[in-house]
Amino acid sequence: MILLAIESTCDETGAAVLEGDGAGVPRVRSSVVSSQIGLHRRFGGVVPEIASRAHVRQVVPMIDEALKQAGVELKDVGAIAVAIRPGLVGALVVGLTAAKSLALALDVPLVAVDHLEGHLYACQLAHPDREVYPCVGLVVSGGHSSLYACRGPLDCEPLGGTIDDAAGEAFDKVASLLGLGYPGGPEIEKAARSGNPKAYAFPRTFLRDPRLAFSFSGLKTAVLYALRGPNEVRGAVQPTPQQAADLAASFQEAVVDVLVAKARQALERTGMTRLGVGGGVAANGRFREKLLAAMDAMGVETFIPPLSLCTDNAAMAGVALLKLAAGQVADLDVDVAAGLVRPKQQKG
């Protein structure tokens, strides 16, 4: 079975061609992404309307390119997959409309996937010879900071997530405060290399709280106050390079400490012995270092896909082949959903 997958949840337009039988791990025959970073850079974050318009321009060229790179034609495609949640509504609608149109025109099944389920399935795509499930899933990106108990690729129960900013969003906002570039994660990481992570004692929110929840908004404010002083919050204050490096290192350390502690807590709570990680923040070297050390100490097997599968891409929607085999086909009137599936106990 040849599957054509489409991704348009946020600011990357992706298309991929996968081949599989629904039993084993699919083979990724092509995966292409058109990033909108250049369009959003001057705003310091993703502008939804600009994102939607860029998806409209890029979705067909990306599909054409994915088919070309895989050496297949539309007539070879046996099913269409698309991420329908969570994400920006206008962005999601573009991918879903393309997917529906193709499914109708080709008379093939449409499979709707959850973007976060996809992020975690990327761990399995990256390690086709290893058992990734059951695992705790941790998705840390510009839009998400969420923990899951995944009994299987199609059985991920939400354990908790952020009650305000996502981890990557905090990196982006703090980078903007420090006058660094966009996206902020790589810039903060670079600046942090010459900084002291103990220079500022920033809060580690919920660190010892039994809830599997994150909050990064207070941390962001703490950086702002450390930079400007509590009584002087207006006007841009330019830190010295050493001050920016120390603030970046101390901020990064606080985020990493919380992410690692919550992953550990989720593993202890579920009794699971594997961890799958997805999302752009997983590119962070300090995060990988501290996470892998903590997981090694616990005897937990950790899966972090290469960057191309960690950040938004369409290949991860290859989880659709399992859905198809399980008979989970979407109707052509299926709609998008902006929000996450939330854990039962968590509000906000």
Q: Which residues of this chain interact with Zn ion, rule CB under 5 A?
A: 141, 312
Taking the least distance from each CB to ligand KG4, the nearer of 192 and 272 is 192
Interaction of residue 253 with ligand KG4, rule CB under 6 A: no
- Tell me which stretch binds ligand KG4 (CB under 6 A): 145-153, 166-174, 227-235, 337-345: 166-174
Q: Positive or negative, the Cα torsion across 82, 86, 89, 90?
A: negative
Q: Positive or negative, the Cα torsion across 179, 182, 188, 193?
A: negative
To 5 degrees, how large is the angle CA 204–CA 208–CA 200?
Answer: 20
Q: Which of 168, 195, 239, 343 binds ligand KG4 (CB under 6 A)?
A: 168
Interaction of residue 185 with ligand KG4, rule CB under 6 A: yes
- Going by DSSP bridges, is the β-strand pair 2-7/12-19 parallel, antiparallel, or unpaired? antiparallel
Taking the least distance from each CB to ligand KG4, the nearer of 44 and 203 is 44
Which single residue brings its beta carbon nearest to ligand KG4? 185
Q: Which of 150, 266, 283, 324 binds ligand KG4 (CB under 6 A)?
A: 283
Burial label for 23, CB within 10 Å (0-12, 13-18, 19+), is: exposed
Q: Which of 121, 133, 148, 171 binds ligand KG4 (CB under 6 A)?
A: 171
Of 158, 152, 16, 164, give the one whose Cα is nearest residue 83. 16
* Distance from C-alpha of 9 to C-alpha of 313, rounded to nearest angstrom: 10
Q: Give the total of residues touching ligand KG4 (CB under 6 A).
A: 20
Q: Which of 34, 124, 145, 284 binds ligand KG4 (CB under 6 A)?
A: 284
* Distance from C-alpha of 318 to C-alpha of 226, rounded to nearest angstrom: 45
Interaction of residue 258 with ligand KG4, rule CB under 6 A: no
Number of Cβ atoms within 10 Å of the Cβ of 306: 11
Q: Which of 184, 239, 318, 343 binds ligand KG4 (CB under 6 A)?
A: 184
- Tell me which stretch binds ligand KG4 (CB under 6 A): 164-172, 221-229, 240-248, 319-327: 164-172
> Would you give the DSSP letter of residue 15?
E
Angle between helix 241-270 and helix 167-177 axes, rounded to 10 deg: 170
Q: Which of 20, 90, 95, 183 binds ligand KG4 (CB under 6 A)?
A: 183
Torsion angle of the four alpha carbons 285, 287, 291, 293, in this order, in degrees rounded to the nearest 10: 50
What is the closest distance, in whole angstroms, from the C-beta atom of residue 283 to ligand KG4 in the complex? 4
- Tell me which stretch binds ligand KG4 (CB under 6 A): 13-21, 120-128, 177-185, 206-214: 177-185
Residues that bind ligand KG4 (CB under 6 A): 10, 141-143, 168-169, 171-172, 183-186, 189, 279-281, 283-284, 311-312
